[in-house]
Amino acid sequence: MKTGIVRFALATYLVMLMLPVYWMVNMSLRDNADILSTFVLFPENLTFDNYIKIFTDPSWYSGYINSMIYVTMNMVISVSVALPAAYAFSRYRFIGDKHVFFWLLTNRMAPPAVFALPFFQLYQTMGLIDTHIAVALAHTLFNVPLAVWVLEGFMSAIPREIDETAYLDGYSFPRFFFRIFMPLIKTGIGVTAFFTFMFSWVELLMARTLTTTEAKPIAAVMTRTVSATGLDWGLLAAAGVLTIVPGALVIYFVRNYMAKGFALGRV
Amino acid sequence: MDKPTNNGAWLLVVPVVLLVAFNAVMPLMAVVNYSVQDIFGPGQAYWVGTEWYREVLGDTRLHEALLRQFLFSGLVLLIEIPLGVLIALAMPRRGWAVSLVLVILALPLLIPWNVIGTIWIIFTRPDIGLLGYSLNSLGIPFDHTASPLDAWITLMLMEVWHWTPLVVLLAYAGLKAIPEAFYQAAAIDGASAWKVFRYIQLPKMRGVLTIAVLLRFMDSFLIYAEPFVLTGGGPGNATTFPSIYLVKVALGQFDLGPAGAFSVIYFLIVLLFSWLFYQVLQNVGRGKAR
């Protein structure tokens, strides 16, 4: 009875969550004239033209490829530098630890608009404008602090006795870290990987500032094409639907890390 | 048990500090530079001291935008955090349904922010949008381009739709990290569901909820793309948040000086409140033992 109500409430929430996304899918399968003239719950004049255009026009699909490249780079860099740092924060005291920990997060707190200009100058000096690595590096500004914070939380939940036992058993630090510790915080790594992917994928301002053509992200391609063609709702909706797909795949792959949870609980 | 002191641990932190500092230090210094100079062009800049700060602090339109922002971020936290925890508690713990729910939850988070605004324009338009059309055909006039209240409702709906899943994912991961033994012990003691929540689940979620509150506060306080696309700050100035006003000043009027001063003040406000939240969440309910 009680679980029935809970299930029903959860299902209702999930349906409401999907409504705007459904509406986007609905629009993506219709042409612009049809969208603007009639209101229908299910597309009647189904067309895949919007998707065909995106998959055949290089200026469209290269946007997806560019975004995927720098987002993956960013995810790998962020998680790999954050893992050891989070371990240090969760296990040891050291000079300035608390200050550095909070300072990291302050890098997410600046309003990006005015920072775009010096960012451009910085990466121009490095000769990195319009490269994937530039966007990947720039996005570490907000993703590395987040990764450190999330991972630190998960690591602190693991009792320190585990580390000590491993060292007593003669494990070296790297061997302990990769063989014992990382499997224990799989959930945290999964969540962190997803978050870094997500924040880099949806960020537009920096990515647009640092690129012109060769590494232009899909979100920027969408705004440009929209203003140039005077809002083609169907095409825009189809592009929007396609922006969800890569991330949905990522969460599908990390879901087991998130779902399996904490190995210690079963010991 | 206290953590051992080991300054060698700095070696593990150095890569992170270097990487973040590389991105953070120079742009921040540049913006502080803008805020104390009057810049006419390359090489033509004059020191003006605190003039821009005084101008910005006396700007009543900025005061209004900031008040709006506090109201918005306050509502965001009051709605999204409890809702997110409730949904995380309601989620299945195992089985195929977990994967399905996780993927559905992630959908709104994965859409680029400017596209979010566009989706909600489509979704709420009275003539072709599912929400706008449905409400109007039910006899409830709803048009976020005309009524400030409707604009706010639409923005809040969009914000809650967009970001509550983030709180859910964090809270759910926190719940999953609680060892089964805790629940078994609680069951042996015959603890009620409320007591399990209050004394086991909530304390164990402190870490993830701290991150959730800080992230939601910072990101909602800096919100730009979604309201800019959806309402453009209108109707009137009803949804002009500081970030939107800032871009108007910085890009619309090419005034780097006031925009820089504005950015610094804006940053300090976010910093101050984040720090307060962090301190409170770190210490609340810990008692004197700490």
Domain boundaries, chain A: 1-47, 49-266
| Higher local confidence (pLDDT), A51 or A37 | A51
C-beta of residue B237 within 8 angstroms of C-beta of residue B61: yes
Average pLDDT, chain B: 84
Given a cut of 50, is residue A103 above it in pLDDT? yes
- Rounded distance between C-alpha atoms, residue A135 and residue A215, angstroms: 9
C-beta of residue A177 within 8 angstroms of C-beta of residue A90: no
C-beta of residue B124 within 8 angstroms of C-beta of residue B131: yes
What's the pLDDT band for A76 if we cut at 50, 70, 90? very high
How does DSSP classify residue B94? Answer: S
Q: pLDDT (tens digit, 9 = 90+) per residue, A159-169?
A: 888 888 888 88
A157/B207 Cβ within 8 A: yes
Return the number of CB contacts < 8 Å for A and B. 285
Give the model's pLDDT for residue A261: 45
Mean pLDDT over A81-88 rounds to 94
Cα-trace Rg, chain B: 23
For A35-44, A92-101, B35-44, B150-159, which range has the lowest pLDDT when averaged over its residues?
A: B35-44
H or E segment at A95? none
Mean pLDDT over B214-224 rounds to 90
Residues 6+ apart with CB under 8 A from B175: B88, B89, B201, B204, B205
Given a cut of 90, is residue B205 above it in pLDDT? no
- Rounded distance between C-alpha atoms, residue A103 and residue A174, angstroms: 27
Q: What CA–CA distances, in Å, run from B191 to A2, A107, A129, A169, B186?
A: 17, 43, 60, 39, 5
Q: What CA–CA distances, in Å, run from B168 to A147, B52, B201?
A: 17, 42, 14
**In this complex, is the C-beta atom of B259 within 8 Å of any C-beta atom belonging to chain A?**
yes
Given a cut of 60, is residue B290 above it in pLDDT? no
**In this complex, is the C-beta atom of B217 within 8 Å of any C-beta atom belonging to chain A?**
no
User: Which residues does chain A have within 8 Å of residue B108's beta carbon, measured at their own beta carbons?
Assistant: 17, 20-21
Q: Which residue carries 């506060």 as its tokens?
A: B217
User: From the list A35, A152, A157, which residue is nearest B128 (CB)?
Assistant: A35
Helical packing angle, B148-176 and B96-106, nearest 10°: 140
Choose among B276, B267, B274, B284: nearest CA to B214: B274
- Rounded distance between C-alpha atoms, residue A225 and residue A221, angstroms: 6
What's the pLDDT band for B77 if we cut at 50, 70, 90? very high
Looking at CATH, the fold of the domain delimited by A49-266 is given as MetI-like fold (1.10.3720)
Whether ipTM > 0.95 holds is no
Give the model's pLDDT for residue A263: 36
Structure tokens at A153: 């939380």
Q: pLDDT (tens digit, 9 = 90+) per residue, A252-261?
A: 777 766 555 4
Give the model's pLDDT for residue A219: 79
A107/B176 Cβ within 8 A: no
C-beta of residue A54 within 8 angstroms of C-beta of residue A242: yes
H or E segment at B60? helix B60-90
Given a cut of 50, is residue A262 above it in pLDDT? no
Structure tokens at A239: 């592009």
Residues 6+ apart with CB under 8 A from A71: A136, A139, A197, A200, A201, A246
Say how many residues make up chain B: 290
Give the model's pLDDT for residue A258: 59
User: Which residues does chain B have within 8 Å of residue A102's beta carbon, measured at their own beta carbons?
Assistant: 275, 278
**In this complex, is the C-beta atom of B22 within 8 Å of any C-beta atom belonging to chain A?**
yes
**In this complex, is the C-beta atom of B263 within 8 Å of any C-beta atom belonging to chain A?**
yes
CA distance A31 to chain B (A): 13
Q: Which residues are bridge partners to B38 per DSSP?
A: B46
C-beta of residue A147 within 8 angstroms of C-beta of residue A192: yes
- Number of Cβ atoms within 10 Å of the Cβ of A96: 12
A144/B250 Cβ within 8 A: no
User: From the list A14, A93, A247, which residue is nearest B104 (CB)?
Assistant: A14
Q: What is the largest CA-CA distance in chain A?
A: 73
User: Which residues does chain B have within 8 Å of residue A137's beta carbon, measured at their own beta carbons?
Assistant: 19, 22-23
User: From the list A16, A21, A141, which residue is nearest B20 (CB)?
Assistant: A141
Structure tokens at A178: 């990769």
C-beta of residue A139 within 8 angstroms of C-beta of residue A206: yes
Task: Give the DSSP letter string of A199-210.
Answer: HHHH--HHHHHT
- Rounded distance between C-alpha atoms, residue A13 and residue A17, angstroms: 6
- Rounded distance between C-alpha atoms, residue B240 and residue B68, angstroms: 8
B271/A106 Cβ within 8 A: yes
How does DSSP classify residue B3? Answer: P
Mean pLDDT over A206-230 rounds to 75
- Rounded distance between C-alpha atoms, residue B112 and residue B244, angstroms: 18
Q: pLDDT (tens digit, 9 = 90+) per residue, B160-188?
A: 999 999 999 888 888 887 878 888 888 89
C-beta of residue A212 within 8 angstroms of C-beta of residue A220: no
Residues 6+ apart with CB under 8 A from A212: A129, A130
Q: What CA–CA distances, in Å, run from B31 to A178, A205, B17, B26?
A: 41, 17, 21, 9
Give the model's pLDDT for residue A264: 35
SS3 for A45?
coil
Cβ burial, residue A150 (10 Å; 0-12/13-18/19+): buried
Helices (H), A31-131: 32-37, 49-56, 58-91, 97-106, 112-125
Give the model's pLDDT for residue A229: 55
Mutation for B interface: A35, A103, A109, most B CBs within 10 A: A109
Cβ burial, residue B42 (10 Å; 0-12/13-18/19+): exposed
Mean pLDDT over B278-287 rounds to 78
Set out the domains of chain B in order of their start, with CATH numbers.
Answer: 59-283 (1.10.3720.10)
B2/A88 Cβ within 8 A: no
User: Which residues does chain B have within 8 Å of residue A192's beta carbon, measured at their own beta carbons?
Assistant: none
Give the model's pLDDT for residue A116: 82
For A39-48, A198-207, A254-263, B31-40, which range has the lowest pLDDT when averaged over its residues?
A: A254-263
Q: What CA–CA distances, in Å, run from A6 to A138, A226, B56, B100, B166?
A: 42, 42, 50, 17, 20
Mean pLDDT over B152-161 rounds to 91
SS3 for B47?
strand
Structure tokens at B268: 């300090």
Choose among A191, A83, A92, A91: nearest CA to B177: A191
C-beta of residue A122 within 8 angstroms of C-beta of residue B33: no
Alpha carbon A6 to its chain centroid, in Å, reads 30
- Rounded distance between C-alpha atoms, residue B167 and residue A132, angstroms: 30
What's the pLDDT band for A265 if we cut at 50, 70, 90? very low
